[in-house]
């Protein structure tokens, strides 16, 4: 990377990374809902699509009225001055009240809210009443530590119930949380903490992963050396680490001590404006720094609760398991806010799927009688590779709905999921959405939609999606183009924290008045949507978004690296893998040791998920005469394709030398 590289945006990129789209469109298997499923479905009347299209605001107003409890009703459903949206204007609401307190008024008070399993095997069940007590105590602790409405609180923890309690405690008092995925590095933490000027950090001593303790507090300590705004740190004791976790006097407090100090204190939920900032979640884009997507309260609750109920066909006695980490948006919307607002029983698992053996997920499903499973295609492909003998060891007959999210799912994985995990009886709902959208926007309604393996099917009622060409004109059915959304929806991000201009430019300027998702898509002859992957420089590795520019900035910050370019290459399990092409400064040797050092450096800078799978050394990178790195050519080399047009290349010899090196490394 060198400063000023423009964003490359091509549909070929998208199609080539997702494989043969034409073959996809010849997919002719159809799965209509069974008569029994249709009859019992929460939504079974296809007229909902027309009704919502005719009156989208009326549609959401009805959902808001029936699903969410408001302290004060709205004056207007929507104020829309593109791209600025305000939903349920003038209303007052509290997310924690909706996710916890109100369930205490019914028999749900003793319903399991969270069934948690630690990786080493411990179990904890928190009923809604337990959750109420814990959230209140945590809210009281935050207040004592000086957190007030409007402050930002960063949360860096593994998958333990305290992460949910911490989020809800913030929401209760009107503090805005930013959850930072537990795999991110110290530098990634400080970037995020500083960007939103967080006042307090909630973390844990560590967590369990694949049988080993992973330190978290020590990473936070390193991060906080450069975070002047952080005054206090709350530390959950998760691993009982016999080594002493250093606690900084006056700054660090053990969570359990703070909770004990709170006693049985009850903290009234703040009456917050519907547009009060609920959370900031950082996500990768096309520049070197992730952007903090800001989500607000009222619309977000309506959007997530509604879609969670209808797309997963949630019943009161369901046992719902979303396997996503709370550090990503899927965890926010469909492990915490949507399901808890709906009073669901949620399974939460701390560790990896292969510990102690490759049947851990299936053992969790059997043990708790999971009925709804929501996971990522990359996980499904991994399970396929491990073999059907692992699920075969367990009784999975409790399952009735399967969901996927995070990346396009190939039909083979879809069918395997349905047949092997779902016993050929469970609908598979492929749900397309983004950190920015907050809620699912394209997905089947399982009681209505005839499913096609590999297609996310249709936009949710009221959502107007289109596939357009470079000029913003709708393309005919069967043709590829850019996915855009033409109307606002309640859980949409409101802006990028601290950078409203970037928000406008990034999402709303390419096709004025429409939201540009950054994904390629096609509709088939029946109007089904097929998502083709990203068309910009955003990679999707194991369903995690990583910006090529972010990785490139990390690479060039290594003292040996002069220049670097990063591309995604197709990967059987991960969807995409990261390949880095680096040229070294004089005096450094391009060998295996150097490649390893560079990979480790990226791990340090961003986190292990961003480490390139492959590092290639090259004397120079292929560039146009105006000095833009030609990533397309690097991709072609990586995919072993015949090279495209290279007439704009400044030095064609560079290409031959990279190609030779690549082939050499490959063999
Ligand atoms: C929820 C989430 C968003 C990007 C998005 C797209 C890809 C997500 C998908 C899908 C095809 C699906 N994506 N779901 N592609 N089919 N069902 O993943 O958010 O981490 O922000 O990623 O993920 O490319 O643009 P996020």
Interatomic CA distance for residues 539 and 285, integer angstroms: 9
> Do residues 359 and 106 make contact, with C-beta atoms less than 8 angstroms apart?
no
Interval 338-357: pLDDT, tens: 999 999 999 999 999 999 99
Mean pLDDT rounded to a whole number for the chain: 93
- Measured by CA distance, the residue closest to atom 5 of ligand 1 is 434
Interatomic CA distance for residues 497 and 93, integer angstroms: 22
Q: Say how many Å lie between the CA of residue 561 and the centre of ligand 1.
A: 32
> Do residues 267 and 143 make contact, with C-beta atoms less than 8 angstroms apart?
yes
Specify the pLDDT at position 294.
98
Specify the pLDDT at position 24.
65
pLDDT at 435 over 60: yes
pLDDT at 644 over 90: no
Residue 364 CB burial class (10 angstroms; 0-12, 13-18, ≥19): buried
What share of the chain has pLDDT > 90, as a percent? 85
Q: Say how many Å lie between the CA of residue 644 and the centre of ligand 1.
A: 29
What share of the chain has pLDDT > 70, as a percent? 92
- Give the number of the atom of ligand 1 that is nearest the alpha carbon of residue 517: 25
Interatomic CA distance for residues 603 and 553, integer angstroms: 12
pLDDT at 584 over 50: yes
What is the pLDDT averaged over residues 108-113? 98
Q: Spell out the residues 6+ positions from residue 520 whose beta carbon is closer than 8 angstroms to its own.
A: 11, 14, 15, 480, 481, 482, 483, 531, 532, 533, 534, 535
Q: Say how many Å lie between the CA of residue 456 and the centre of ligand 1.
A: 11
- Measured by CA distance, the residue closest to atom 11 of ligand 1 is 408
Pocket test for ligand 1, best of 292, 519, 609 (most atoms within 8 A of CB): 519
Q: Spell out the residues 6+ positions from residue 461 whose beta carbon is closer than 8 angstroms to its own.
A: 48, 49, 51, 52, 53, 59, 445
- Give the number of the atom of ligand 1 that is nearest the alpha carbon of residue 434: 19
- Measured by CA distance, the residue closest to atom 15 of ligand 1 is 407
Specify the pLDDT at position 25.
63
Specify the pLDDT at position 199.
98
pLDDT at 667 over 50: no
Instruction: Give whole-number Cα distances, 322 to 79, 347, 370, 428, 660, in Å.
Output: 33, 7, 10, 14, 45
Interval 13-72: pLDDT, tens: 454 444 455 566 667 899 999 999 999 999 999 999 999 999 999 999 999 999 999 999
Specify the pLDDT at position 279.
99
Q: Say how many Å lie between the CA of residue 360 and the centre of ligand 1.
A: 25
Specify the pLDDT at position 243.
84
Which residue in 98, 116, 102, 107 sits closest to 157, CA to CA? 116
pLDDT at 432 over 60: yes
Assign 3-state DSSP to the chain and report helix, strand, coil percentages, each to 5: 35, 25, 40
- Measured by CA distance, the residue closest to atom 22 of ligand 1 is 434
Which residues are near ligand 1 (CB < 6 Å)? 283, 328-330, 405-408, 430-435, 456, 517-519, 531, 533-534, 540, 545
- Give the number of the atom of ligand 1 that is nearest the alpha carbon of residue 545: 20
Boundaries of every domain in the chain: 6-27+527-666
Q: Say how many Å lie between the CA of residue 588 and the centre of ligand 1.
A: 39
The answer, yes or no, to whether the previous bond of 356 is cis (omega within 30 of 0) is yes
What is the pLDDT averaged over residues 354-362? 98
- Give the number of the atom of ligand 1 that is nearest the alpha carbon of residue 435: 21
Q: Assign 636 a pLDDT band (cuts: 50, 70, 90).
A: confident
Q: Assign 362 a pLDDT band (cuts: 50, 70, 90).
A: very high
- Measured by CA distance, the residue closest to atom 19 of ligand 1 is 434
| Exposure letters 586-600 (e unless 16+ CB within 10 A, then b) | eebebeeebbeebbe
Specify the pLDDT at position 7.
36
- The fold for domain 6-27+527-666 equals GMP Synthetase; Chain A, domain 3 (3.30.300)
Q: Assign 537 a pLDDT band (cuts: 50, 70, 90).
A: confident
- Give the number of the atom of ligand 1 that is nearest the alpha carbon of residue 330: 1
Interatomic CA distance for residues 338 and 309, integer angstroms: 8
- Measured by CA distance, the residue closest to atom 8 of ligand 1 is 406
The token pair at 376 is 């990522």
What is the pLDDT averaged over residues 241-247? 88
Pocket test for ligand 1, best of 279, 291, 405, 576 (most atoms within 8 A of CB): 405
Specify the pLDDT at position 666.
55
Pocket test for ligand 1, best of 433, 442, 459 (most atoms within 8 A of CB): 433
Specify the pLDDT at position 204.
98
- Give the number of the atom of ligand 1 that is nearest the alpha carbon of residue 408: 11
């Amino acid at each position: 990377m060198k400063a000023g590289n423009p964003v490359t945006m091509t549909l070929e990129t998208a199609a080539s990374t997702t494989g043969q789209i034409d073959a996809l469109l010849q997919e002719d298997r159809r799965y209509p809902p069974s008569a029994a499923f249709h009859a019992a479905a929460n939504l079974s009347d296809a007229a909902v699509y027309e009704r919502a299209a005719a009156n989208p605001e009326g549609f959401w107003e009805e959902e808001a009225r029936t699903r969410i409890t408001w302290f004060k009703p709205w004056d207007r459903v929507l104020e829309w001055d593109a791209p600025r949206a305000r939903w349920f204007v003038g209303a007052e609401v509290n997310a924690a009240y909706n996710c916890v307190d109100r369930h205490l008024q019914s028999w749900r008070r003793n319903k399991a809210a969270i069934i948690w399993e630690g990786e080493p095997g411990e179990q904890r069940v928190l009923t809604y009443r337990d959750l109420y007590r814990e959230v209140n105590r945590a809210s009281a602790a935050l207040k004592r530590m000086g957190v007030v409405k409007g402050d930002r609180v960063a949360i860096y923890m593994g998958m333990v119930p305290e992460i949910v309690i911490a989020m809800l405690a913030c929401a209760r008092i009107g503090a805005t949380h930013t959850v930072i995925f537990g795999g991110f590095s110290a530098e990634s933490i400080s970037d995020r903490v500083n960007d939103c000027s967080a006042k307090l950090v909630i973390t844990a001593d560590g967590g369990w992963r694949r049988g080993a303790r992973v330190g978290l507090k020590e990473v936070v300590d390193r991060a906080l050396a450069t975070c002047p705004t952080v005054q206090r740190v709350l530390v959950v004791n998760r691993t009982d680490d016999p080594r002493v976790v250093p606690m900084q006097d006056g700054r660090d407090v053990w969570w359990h001590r703070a909770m004990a100090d709170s006693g049985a204190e009850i903290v009234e939920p703040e009456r917050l404006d519907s547009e009060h900032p609920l959370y900031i979640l950082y996500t990768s884009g096309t520049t070197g720094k992730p952007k903090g997507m800001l989500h607000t309260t009222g619309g977000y609750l309506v959007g997530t609760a509604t879609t969670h109920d209808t797309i997963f066909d949630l019943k009161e006695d369901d046992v719902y398991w979303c396997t996503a980490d709370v550090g990503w948006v899927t965890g926010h919307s469909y492990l915490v806010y949507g399901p808890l607002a709906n009073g669901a029983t949620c399974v939460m698992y701390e560790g990896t799927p292969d510990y102690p053996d490759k049947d851990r997920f299936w053992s969790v499903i059997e043990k708790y009688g999971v009925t709804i499973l929501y996971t990522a295609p990359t996980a499904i492909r991994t399970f396929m590779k491990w073999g059907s003998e692992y699920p075969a060891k367990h009784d999975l007959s409790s399952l009735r709905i399967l969901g996927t999210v995070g990346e396009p799912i190939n039909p083979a994985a879809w069918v395997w999921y349905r047949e092997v995990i779902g016993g050929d009886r469970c609908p598979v709902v492929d749900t397309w959405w983004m950190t920015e959208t907050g809620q699912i926007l394209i997905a089947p309604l399982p009681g209505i939609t005839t499913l096609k393996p590999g297609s996310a099917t249709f936009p949710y009622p009221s959502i107007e999606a289109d596939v357009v060409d470079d000029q913003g004109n709708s393309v005919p059915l069967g043709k590829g183009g850019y996915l855009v959304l033409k109307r606002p929806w309640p859980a949409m991000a409101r802006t990028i924290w601290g950078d409203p201009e970037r928000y406008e430019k990034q999402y709303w300027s390419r096709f004025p008045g429409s939201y540009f998702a950054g994904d390629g898509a096609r509709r088939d002859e029946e109007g089904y949507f097929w998502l083709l992957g990203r068309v910009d420089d955003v990679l999707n590795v194991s369903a995690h978004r990583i910006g090529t520019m972010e990785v490139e900035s990390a690479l060039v910050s290594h003292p040996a690296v002069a220049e670097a370019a990063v591309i995604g290459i197709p990967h059987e399990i991960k969807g995409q893998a990261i390949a880095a092409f680096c040229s070294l400064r004089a005096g450094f040797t391009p060998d295996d040791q150097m490649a390893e050092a560079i990979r480790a450096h990226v791990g340090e800078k961003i986190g292990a998920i961003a480490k390139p799978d492959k590092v290639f050394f090259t004397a120079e990178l292929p560039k146009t005469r105006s000095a833009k790195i030609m990533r397309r050519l690097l991709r072609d080399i990586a995919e072993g394709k015949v090279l495209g047009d290279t007439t704009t290349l400044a030095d064609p010899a560079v290409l031959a030398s990279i190609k030779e090196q690549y082939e050499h490394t490959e063999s």
